[in-house]
Every structure is written in C-alpha cells, then in structure tokens.
Structure 1
Amino acid sequence: MNVPWRLSDRLKGGHFLYDVHFKSQGVKAVLIEGSVSLGFEGVKQAFTELFTDYHEVGAAVSLVHRGVTVVDLWAGSRDKAEAQPWRQDTRSNVFSASKAVVAIAILQLVEKRLLSLEQPVADLWPEFAQNGKQDITVRQVLTHRSGVNAFQGKVPDTAIYDWSMATGLIAQESPWWEPGSEQGYSPILFGWILGELVCRVSGCNSFNDYVAQNIARPLGLGWKFGLSSGELAGIADMAPLKVPKSAAVNNVKSGSLLTNAILGNPQGVTAKAFANPPSLMIGTNGVPWRQAQIPAANGHASAADLAIFYGALADLDDERLLTAEARSWCWEEQTQGQDNVLHCPLSLSLGFMRLLPRNIQSERFFCHPGAGGSLGYADASEGFGFGYATRAMGQSITLDDRADHLLQAVYAAVRD
C-alpha cells in the first residue's frame, strides 16, 4: 500500500526518534512513537506496515541486540473504544508467550539442583500421582509429552481463577494417552502443573512471587501474573483482528485447522484443551482473568519486557536468568512431529517452541508465541531478543504473519 506519511527524525542519545503519521482510505491516522538505532530502520518500516497492510490497531515491538535496546516502538490504541493511546509501558495479555517464564522458572530450579528433569512430578506433588500419572516426569511436562493436556470432565468457569481448585482438579485427572508416547500441546494445564512445582520447591507463596523475585526483578521487567486493582486501568483490551477474507491466508488456514478440530469433535482433546471451561475463551478481558494466576496463559507484559527477557537469554555473557552452560536447554530440540492438539508439525525444546520466520535459517533459536499473535523470540546465534505485543488477535496457531513480517526485518538488520 502506498501511504502518504511524514517522518521527522531527531538524533538523541544515539537513537533516532520517529514520529510517523499516515492517513489513507480506510486507514486511520496513527502516530508511531519510540526509538530506533541506526541500521535498524527496516524494523520501523515493517512495524509501520503492520498498521497499513496488516490491520493492526494497537501494538508495540522491541528488540535487544547484544545487550542493547536498538528498537522500541509503539502505536495505536490500547482500549476497545480506541480512545486511549498505546504507551511505552503498556502491558497486554501475551497468552501462551507466558509459558517462557514458566519454563525458565523450572530450568532455574533444575540448574540449582532443587529438582531434576527426570524426576516424577508426583515426587514433589504426591496428589498428582492419581489415575495413571505417577510416572510423569518434569521433562515430559516441559516438552508437552505428559498426556495431561486438558480437563476431561466438565469444569466450573471459576476454576481457572482459583489456583487451589485448578491444581486439585489436575491432581485427579487421567492422561489422554500413555505419558511419553505422543506429543500434544498443553495450552493451560502446563502452567499450573509446573507452577505448582515452582511453589513447592522454592517455598514461595505464589508463582507470581517466584517470578517477581527471580525473573522480573533481576531484569527490571513489568511482566506479571495476577494484576493488582491499581494496575488494571493501563492494560490493553484484546479484540479480534479484523481482516478481509483475502488477507492473512496462512493465519486463516492454520486457525481453521484448530477451529475445525474444536467444532468437529467437542469432546476431543483439542476442544477440551482450549474451551473447557468456556471462561478460557470469553473471560480474557475480565477482572477475574487479569487478577488470577494462570501461568500458561495470562502473563501481562510489554513488548520491551519480552525483548529484555529473551535478550538476556540470547546473550551468553548475561547470566541473570541461566548460566551459559544451561542456555542450550532453551534451543536444543527435545521432540518434534505432528502435534495431537494443535494438529500441525511442531518442534519443541525444554518449554519453548522452535519456530523460524519464512525463508530464514539459523541454529540457536527459540521462542513462544501467544494466542492472537504476540511473540517473544531469541536467536543466540545472532545475539538478539525480540518482543511483539498486540491487542488485535489473529488466527495464527504458531507464528503470526505480523510477527513474521517484523522478524524478517530484524534478521535483515542483524545480518547486514
């Protein structure tokens, strides 16, 4: 799309500050704010194109390269009425991108030898041993091979907001298949299983307490599970990404696979994993959701939080989260193949997905996308951590077209 726009750049502290205004037929005037270092202007251009070509309404992108923030941009609105502007520190629900924090919490405890990857979960949580789960290991949960993917029976809507109720129900569950025999993504239960282990092993009163002390505070992050009343007003509202039928073909196709699996077999594992209870699908803008601790799905973070977190993992000299020796756990493949829940091929490391943008090759990469499009991503071979946060929810299962578009520009910049 050819869009008339005005660019004013002012050099400040080694960064260019961009004020980009564009207005065209069907496109509202949008102000893009933030900073971009020399050599990374292509990422700014790609971010601008999200609003002109990809129907973005409110989002941010951030990039940390070799320990330095080189891109930090935001634009659009953060509320349903599109009256409140997105700000530098705006946090949104990044959904399953939250799982990265869960994974690192577990890997920190493994590195400290407070638990083992091969240890049965039931060694630390005896109630979990019920109904054929006694031998499920920490590794199997981290790699989505536990078979504990979803609640099988009907669950009250309120269960997802009550940690004790949720973990109590999980303890009574049976695996959907023989643990370790097949790969099946666990969109929600993953977080409570591993989060309960974090609490039991660390002695912290809650999962969020552990994150605050061992992940957020050392990095200066605002990433949080369970918001206080005073934090609710600044959170971005989630809404469907409004695209024409001809747009985002890959996302529509991948989203349709999941939708067909849910609608075609309402009692199957995919339907149960994403829609049991129904509050998983309809409660995400509500106060109960935002104030609960649902580690696999309701972390609230900014794009900068995502980039700083992944940037620390991509920089092998930065040992605030994991030592350099332990870092390979993040990118080394543990399992791959057709996923029984997502119905697509998937490669996984210990708690992370191994996804690459189209036509990009690399070695030490890892990430976790969130429902709707948000993404945290690292490439230790190139030394960068990337974060994209959006409130416009697309239909992608794994790598959203918008995130892919941004990453194409990131790789072009770091490899130039």
Structure 2
Amino acid sequence: MQPSKSSGQPAVRQTVDRGSWTRGAVAEGFEPVAHAFSAAIQSGAALGAACTIMHRGETVVDLHGGWKDRSHESAWAADDITLVYSLTKGLTGIASAVAVSRGLFAYDEPVADIWPEFAAHGKGSVTVGEALSEQAGLAAIDFKLSLETLGDEKAICAAIARQKPNWVPGDHSGNHAYTLGWIASELIHRRDPYGRRLPQFFAEEIAGPLGVDVYLGLPDTFERDRIARIDGFGMQDLFIHHTTMPWPLTFEMCLPGTLAFRTLNNPLILEGPGALDCDEFWRIGQGAAGGMASARGLAALYNAFAEGGEKLGVTPEVMSLLTQGHRYPRKGLKDQVLTANMYYSYGFEKPFSEWEYARTSSAFGSFAVGGSLAFCDPQDSVAYAWITNKLGTGKWDDPREKLVRDAFYACLEDFS
C-alpha cells in the first residue's frame, strides 16, 4: 500500500499509545518508526521529544513522548512547543526565500546596495546569497550581547555593519550562530514596504497563513504551560559525555580569543545553551537561535517547500536555487567556527558527502545544538521534523534522532 496521495487514498493511520513513552499515530507500514522513537524515551536518552514526518503531502509519522521538564510531572503533548535553537536558521531561510520571491531583494544582489553601511572593512561585494550562506565572515562580532541587549536590533545591526570580517568573505564559511538572523532581518526591514523586521514578517507572511505553531518572538498570549523546557548541558559535559563533537571545537569553545569562543560564548559565556531557555529570550524572536516551534508546525512549514513552495508564493526560480544550493566557498567547506566541514546555503544546511541526511541532494533544512533536525526533500516529497528538550552533546546525526530517521527511510524504501 502506498502511503501517499498518489495511491488515491489517504494513509491508513495506526494509533500509538505507549503511555508516557510514545503517543500519536503512524501510517500503515511505518510502525518501525514508532519503535525507534520510543527507544530514546524509554532509555532516558531523551527527556521528551516529538517527531512529525510528511510524505507526498500526507502525515505518515506524528509522535510525541516523554516529559516537558525534569520534574517528570507533565507529559509532552502533541502540540507542545520548545526552543529549537539553530532550527531557527531554517525559518530565516524560509522567510528570505519568500522575500526574494516577492522581489524585495535578490540572492545575487550586494548587501551594501540594500544596506550601505555594511560595506565597511571590505564587505562591499558580499552578496545576499553569500551572507545567508554564512560566508560573510561575521560569525563573531565585537558587540557585547546579553539578554538585555539581544533585542536591540538597531544597535546590533549597526555593529554588524561596522564589523571587520573574521575571514575574507567568500573564502570560507562558518557558523553565524546569532548574526545570520540579524542580517536577514535588516535586509527585510530595509526593503519591506511596511518596514517589518524578521519576526513580524515571518508571523504575518509565513506562520500565520499556514496556521502553524512556529514563532519568532513568542506572543504574550501563548500559553506557557505548552512549552517543553530545555534540559541543557554545561561545558564540562562536552568533555565528560563527549560524543561526535569535534575535539578541536570542544577545546576552542573554552579558550578565550578563539573564533569558536567569540562566536558561541557571546552571550552565554560558558553557561551552556540551556541558559537561553527563558521568557526574556522567547519573546525576542532572535532569527538564528530563538525560534519556538512544535514538530507538527515545522513539518508543515517544510512540507510547503516539499510541495514546491506555491502555498507561500515561492517562485520556481527560487526553489531551483534552494534545491541546487549556493556555490561552495572558494577554499572549501571547512567551517571556520565548528572546525568541521559543513555546507551552508541560503539560510539552510544542504547534504554533502560527509553528511547525507536525506536521500537526495535537493534537500535543505537545519540542525540544532542538542540534536534536533528539520528539513524538506522536494525530490523525495519529504518534510521531516524531530525536536527534543534534552540537549545531546553531538555535532549532527544525534543517535536518538538518527535512529528515527533511519527507520523512516527504511520504511520508505518498501514503497519506492
């Protein structure tokens, strides 16, 4: 039986109810995904998690399990949201694709044509596409970030504009852990007829029309008891519980003056990413690390792209660029911050030889600190989201998430 619209019938859903371990539903033939999902919860490797996967427009996996916080008093519910860290970059990539499709700016347009101050220190030829592909050399900035200053986009963008690049733009790429969101927000703000910044543009042009629980800036009206709280890690855990994090990165994050330290510890200063899980940060709508989302919402967003982007007015030309990917940096894929290869493209990460997270190279999405992953594969008609509130200490291919993804693709092979 084909679990898709191409069969002429909707997927047959099998209810899954394993108490606090796993609840939800899977399409017939995808039962092994539920077993894989439950394994992480039952083992204690994941405090709580949720996974939604769509194929050819049908939801074939919709699971949630575990707990909202370390008290183990409240079970994770189907529509609960959590802080999704760098999955937010994909949301910013989506917003940028919509903006380009509407003619606000072009990927091959110099940033300085839109934002003249950005040209300082030799950045005048950096294109929008290069900036969104994390090649602009603006991973670390000299501006002191804190919960008090993170929401001051005007001051932060002025600092980005006058920042000397960390490397020659275009030579390398590197994880723009926070700055990617502010760069995209300033571009949208300067060209949007209504002067909106990224959080408002995303809410009104993307999340609102699709009716999804995905937020860049959590509204005061959102029920806080629907938030799964983060169980984070400290710097010592990267050594004690070391998994796939590159050792050079682990050491450099602890050494003041290194690019990794300057990028990843401003504003955290060795507190660990769990320190951002607070109401002050949820409200800001930081466009690279501050997104709040449910797995269902993320899958629905990416499904709009898996189906070609028409629901959001994304043009075929933009879809073609996203699936093909931005050109590599001149000196290769080594991330100057993370110390390992990574393929950044227009606000997303793309599959490449060392990390083929999807079956085809048309895929694009984002992974996050702690193990979460969300992406679409237009060629395969797949939209995927796996999120957790228990942060792992790996780089990518978190073993909890990968077990689920591998089970899904094994099931999908049976229908190919």
TM-score tier, shorter chain, comes to 0.7 to 0.9
Runs of 5+ unmatched residues, structure 1: 1-11, 22-29
Q: Distance in 2 between matches of 1:157 and 1:127?
A: 26
Q: Is the 8 A contact 2:246 2:340 kept in 1?
A: no
Matched AA of 1:99: K
| Map of 2:91 onto structure 1 | 101
TM (norm. structure 1) is 0.87
Q: Any residues of structure 2 matched to 1:90-239 within 5 Å, and which?
A: 90-152=80-142, 154-202=144-192, 203-231=194-222, 232-239=224-231
Deviation at 1:59, TM superposition (A): 0.7
Q: Does 1:341 align with 2:332?
A: no
Runs of 4+ in 1 over 6 A off after TM superposition: 356-360
| Map of 1:373 onto structure 2 | 371
Q: Distance in 1 between matches of 2:309 and 2:106?
A: 25
Runs of 5+ unmatched residues, structure 2: 1-9
Q: Distance in 2 between matches of 1:408 and 1:269?
A: 34
| Map of 1:49 onto structure 2 | 39
Deviation at 1:318, TM superposition (A): 4.7
Q: Distance in 1 between matches of 2:364 and 2:93?
A: 12
Relative to structure 1, the CA distance from residue 153 to residue 220 in structure 2 (aligned partners, 3 Å threshold; closer, same or farther) is: closer
| Map of 2:382 onto structure 1 | 384
Relative to structure 1, the CA distance from residue 317 to residue 337 in structure 2 (aligned partners, 3 Å threshold; closer, same or farther) is: closer
| Map of 2:76 onto structure 1 | 86
| Map of 2:299 onto structure 1 | 307
Q: Distance in 1 between matches of 2:278 and 2:358?
A: 38
Q: Distance in 1 between matches of 2:256 and 2:299?
A: 37
Matched AA of 2:344: L
Q: Distance in 1 between matches of 2:83 and 2:390?
A: 11
- 3-state secondary structure, aligned to 2:333: strand
Q: Distance in 2 between matches of 1:273 and 1:31?
A: 37
Matched AA of 2:303: G
Q: Is the 8 A contact 1:78 1:391 kept in 2?
A: yes
The two structures, once aligned, show a CA RMSD in angstroms of 2.6
Q: Does 1:291 align with 2:283?
A: yes
Q: Distance in 2 between matches of 1:13 and 1:349?
A: 33
Q: Is the 8 A contact 1:382 1:414 kept in 2?
A: no
Q: Distance in 1 between matches of 2:34 and 2:411?
A: 11
Q: Distance in 1 between matches of 2:98 and 2:383?
A: 19
Matched pairs, number = 392
- 3-state secondary structure, aligned to 1:209: helix
Q: Distance in 2 between matches of 1:392 and 1:359?
A: 21
Relative to structure 1, the CA distance from residue 414 to residue 207 in structure 2 (aligned partners, 3 Å threshold; closer, same or farther) is: same
| Map of 1:277 onto structure 2 | 267
Matched AA of 2:154: S
Q: Does 1:323 align with 2:319?
A: no
Matched AA of 2:292: H
Deviation at 1:56, TM superposition (A): 0.9
TM-superposition CA deviations, 1:267-307 (whole Å, max 9, x none): 12111111112378463122211111210001000011111
TM (norm. structure 2) is 0.87
Q: Any residues of structure 2 matched to 1:7-22 within 5 Å, and which?
A: 14-21=12-19
Q: Is the 8 A contact 2:232 2:274 kept in 1?
A: no
